[in-house]
Amino acid sequence: MLDKLSPQKIQYVTILGATGTIGLQTLDVISQHAERFAIFALAANSNVKGMYALCEKYQPSYAVMLQQSAATLLAAQLKSIGSSTVVLHGDAALCEISAHEQVDIVMAAIVGAAGLHPAMAAAKAGKRILLANKETLVMAGNLFMQAVADGGATLLPIDSEHNAIFQALPQNKQGSLASMGVKRVLLTASGGPFRNATIAELKAVSCAQALNHPNWVMGPKITIDSATLMNKGLEVIEAHWLFNALPEQIDVVVHPQSVIHSMVEYIDGSILAQLGNPDMRTPIAYGLAYPERLTSGVGSLDLLTTARLDFSAPDLVRFPCLRLAYHALNAGGSAPAILNAANEIAVAAFLAKKIGFMDIPQLIEQVLSVAHIEPIESIEQLVLIDGLARQSASVRVEALC
Ligand code: NDP
Ligand code: MG
């Protein structure tokens, strides 16, 4: 109700990754609150058809395609209907629409390392950042958090687990977890479609099977990450940076119903959890309106139908990606960026049917084991490290083909 009671200035939003799963759900929530939010810019990679439809509907000031050829095509199509949307292309344009003075809110929902530069630009420009792109924190956690602090940005986690933890932490989140009386954070994991599979079954998993997530509708990369549990591993690293949490203060618990989105345990024995239907419009609405609440279109959780909540420990033997992510977090420096780069190459190779499901962790482990780990001091250095790790992973993919 608060949004109806407190008239306020329209907030202008840039959506990076507008044609993706998170981008479209963000547009869905914004459409329900046209009196509060307006679209300033939309961005995607190459999906001209999707962007054309969105530009026609939302009439943003800017539309950015990473690919120049896609931008040229989109511009011609929009011109033919008399649209006033300005079409730009490339990484620099993604950064411009993230840092533009007219923008209040940036939804960072590009998938993978490609989301890093525009998220950094939004941080430096002091925007309210709704961070879905976890890879930014995995790759460049120290640099990004520093940019958020220096730029005076407001960082709101959209990943459902981190959004849940953010909600369960005290309002004033200054200082260490210990100083807030927090013992640990518990990230819940659905366990993915192969929760009960044997190693032999995992080796034979097909792309179609891995793309069939039991609880969440998501883009292909994060769906594969969920099936290998790398998604949970990336989220452990994400939690480390977002909440200033030590590796030993971050636990993962498998919870197949995905009803509890994560929990915070306090030193007095209290555990606070956030529950709801598994629908990303809840954390998106939370990020858009924080500290107020907005309707999101998500229905009430029916506890009686849910009836039971199950929990178990993750199996690090069948799902080595989670172990590798903890290893990279403990190793520090460039290790998480190398883990992320190797994972992106391995997942793309699996989606292209070049390697098997269990080759994914094996390949990442090999890349990490030969990599030189060093402290991360600049984005330029990070880009080089990311490139080298991708090369190392690609060579291993070719060897497996
Ligand atoms: P999708 O694959 O559905 O969408 C990805 C979006 O990013 C598309 O708009 C795509 O454009 C765009 N994109 C891809 N590469 C580039 C690039 N190089 N430059 C510019 N734009 C690019 O992914 P999701 O929406 O599922 O996920 C987005 C991010 O949010 C990921 O980091 C994921 O981990 C995170 N996340 C997602 C959740 C979910 O429920 N989906 C939950 C929690 C986190 P195009 O259509 O042109 O290819
Ligand atoms: Mg998540």
Answer whether residue 216 shows pLDDT above 90. no
* Pocket of ligand 1 contains residue 19 by CB under 6 Å: yes
Quote the CA–CA distance of 57 and 278 in Å, as a whole number: 27
Say how many Å lie between the CA of residue 108 and the centre of ligand 1.
Answer: 9
Question: Could you report the per-residue pLDDT of 160-212, keeping only the tens digit for each?
Answer: 999 999 999 999 888 899 999 999 999 999 999 999 999 999 999 999 999 99
Range of the domain at 164: 158-311
Say how many Å lie between the CA of residue 287 and the centre of ligand 1.
Answer: 17
Q: Are residues 304 and 339 in the same domain?
A: no
Q: Are residues 219 and 199 in the same domain?
A: yes
Distances (CA, A) of 90 to 44, 63, 164, 210: 10, 11, 34, 32
Residue 375 maps to which CATH number?
1.10.1740.10
Amino acid at 364: I
Taking the CA of 280 as reference, the closest ligand is 1
**How does residue 217 score in pLDDT terms, banded at 50, 70 and 90?**
confident
The 10 Å Cβ neighbour count of residue 112 is 21
Atom of ligand 1 at shortest range from CA of 19 = 9
The rounded percent of the chain whose pLDDT value lies above 70 is 98
Q: What is the pLDDT of residue 3?
A: 44
CA nearest to 366, candidates 401, 339, 348: 339
Q: Are residues 142 and 264 in the same domain?
A: no
Domain termination site, one of 157, 186, 221: 157
**DSSP string for 292-318:** S----SPPPP-HHHH-----B---TTT
Q: What is the DSSP letter of 193?
A: T
Question: Could you report the per-residue pLDDT of 295-324, keeping only the tens digit for each?
Answer: 999 999 999 999 999 999 999 999 999 999
User: Does residue 322 lie in a domain region?
Assistant: no
User: Does residue 325 lie in a domain region?
Assistant: no
Question: Could you report the per-residue pLDDT of 335-387, keeping only the tens digit for each?
Answer: 999 999 999 999 999 999 999 999 999 999 999 999 999 999 999 999 999 99
Q: Are residues 135 and 148 in the same domain?
A: yes
Say how many Å lie between the CA of residue 118 and the centre of ligand 1.
Answer: 13
Number of domains in the chain: 3
Q: Are residues 294 and 173 in the same domain?
A: yes
Q: Are residues 172 and 258 in the same domain?
A: yes
Answer whether residue 83 shows pLDDT above 70. yes
Atom of ligand 1 at shortest range from CA of 46 = 47
**DSSP string for 30-51:** HHTTTTTEEEEEEEESS-HHHH
Q: Are residues 382 and 240 in the same domain?
A: no
Say how many Å lie between the CA of residue 308 and the centre of ligand 1.
Answer: 32
Amino acid at 2: L
Quote the CA–CA distance of 113 and 136 in Å, as a whole number: 7
Q: Are residues 163 and 301 in the same domain?
A: yes
Q: Pick from 111, 139, 163 the residue to mutate for probing ligand 1's pocket: most ligand atoms within 8 Å of its CB.
A: 111
* Pocket of ligand 1 contains residue 233 by CB under 6 Å: no
Say how many Å lie between the CA of residue 81 and the centre of ligand 2.
Answer: 39
Count of residues making up the chain: 401
Q: Pick from 110, 213, 225 the residue to mutate for probing ligand 1's pocket: most ligand atoms within 8 Å of its CB.
A: 110
